[in-house]
Chains A and B, each alone.
Chain A
């Protein structure tokens, strides 16, 4: 993920600014939609529509929970429409109608999206240098020397940045899972 440039602000208090909400919820809603319909491109379209719909009526919302609820609900309904009327994805078309789409399944996927999304945000808000190193190591599965070459920095800097990232992540996520994840990728 690249450094996010300052976006177009729509003049609302920070927390309700569409750009801020986008940064916070866009990827996790895409992930949520993808879990339901299994098509990444269609998922992204659905989530973009949801944000546009929110933007048009943003004056109606006065707290983040209601905005988040609106976004999830809008995405969920759009996905259910796709499933019901187009049956885009074979593996879902094979099952009987909506049988796989109980509210329980949807709730489960909301939890998945929220948890994974928060963890991802914790990584995304690390300082740029740390993040680049971490992402190459963690998502790109590159070794230290490969990272050093790609970023044109010394192997020692790579090691320092990794250590720093780890320290910063601990504050936000503590030792739990992520450290295990990092350990598993040879961090």
Chain B
């Protein structure tokens, strides 16, 4: 997938070249790519050679699309039963082969198809921990608090001219009623084992993962939209070029955007603050050293504790957004990283009897199952053994 994103990017550059739309920066990137490898140069020449290109385009026209669509539509409309498994298995075999070649110790977790139907709680383990849910506490400007998981739907409060509304699906929305006179701040905090989605007064959508906090104005005014995040959040920022959206990340970094989709992970027990851009453009500044990086879609910045910023050009987007899609996605993820994610979602504490635990795991698991199911899968495929004592998990 990572090399794929790179390929998509180069394709865009070549097309922009053909349309004469390359910016200087993009031209430099394309030139660097062309110069890095003879094969790249040959490929580029093929794609810009009229005779060769024409032959390729004829292939496209020889494909009968309508019959193909009928076949797909006929199968796509059937209830999901057989089809996905075949493809997924192929994926896992290929992934496993690649990892084994790479010399990794790889385990294949039993694949669980994410399921829309509610999880039936079968024969609960004596000692088990239920997954997290939509839980959060909202703190209003006057310091009063509302526990959102119990609050009834409808109007919760008025903050200046803005109505705070809890929607039927458990989300929170801020409906601006006009120009705000003074800026009042609200804070929403999710506990461990909680997550929450809200829509800010400017239309920006925020998904907040467990153990995270967002401080934001009830109404936006002035020349910028400024919020503060700790923990992890996924943002779909409403476009407003006149009022840039700025996120202060745990006091260590600043992410400035015009209108875009991205994920920020800034948990203080993770090695770095990772900002992953899905769409649009963002500027990330490390406040310690004042270093700044502008991200392209599909890229990730890693802001380390020392204030250094590096760019990961090929982050695994599926893993980054897994939490928002109600899944855990492990791609060569070591046991301790997995356990940190479980701690946040199941509100548990993990301790280790031994040392090491460097085994890496590959797999996808729903976030909506009890913890025992996840631990069982991990046990099935590795030497690790787990003991559940209430909210404490011991790794043996």
Contact = CB atoms under 8 A, between A and B. Distances in A.
Given A65-B298, A77-B91, A107-B7, A177 B48 contact: yes
Interface in A2-29: 2, 4-5, 7-8, 10, 18-19, 22-23, 26-28
B168 interface: no
Contacts of A80: 94
Contacts of B7: 107, 110-111, 114
A115 interface: yes
A119 interface: yes
Contacts of A18: 72-73, 76
Contacts of A117: 60
Interface stretch (A48-56, A144-152, A155-163): A48-56
Contacts of A114: 7-8, 11-12, 15
Given A8-B77, A120-B57, A52 B20 contact: no
Given A173-B18, A174-B18, A57 B84 contact: yes
Contacts of B54: 138, 181, 184-185
A102 to B, nearest CB: 10
A51 B90 contact: no
B9 to A, nearest CB: 10
Given A27-B63, A73-B1, A78-B90, A176 B48 contact: yes
Nearest to A51: B72
A93 interface: no
B11 A111 contact: yes
A116 B57 contact: yes
Chain A contact patch, size range: 35 or more
Given A69-B317, A77-B94, A175-B20, A112 B56 contact: yes
B112 to A, nearest CB: 12
B20 A174 contact: yes
Nearest to B327: A60
Most A C-beta atoms less than 10 A away, residue of B8, B49, B53, B71: B53
14 contacts: A7-B69, A7-B73, A49-B83, A52-B75, A53-B84, A57-B84, A65-B297, A69-B5, A111-B43, A114-B7, A114-B11, A115-B18, A176-B18, A185-B54
Interface of A: 1-2, 4-5, 7-8, 10, 18-19, 22-23, 26-28, 30-31, 34, 40, 44, 47-53, 55-57, 59-60, 62-63, 65-66, 68-69, 72-74, 77-78, 80-81, 103-104, 106-108, 110-112, 114-120, 123, 135, 138-139, 172-178, 180-181, 183-185
Given A31-B59, A110-B7, 8 more contacts: A18-B73, A22-B68, A49-B87, A59-B116, A60-B327, A65-B317, A115-B15, A120-B61
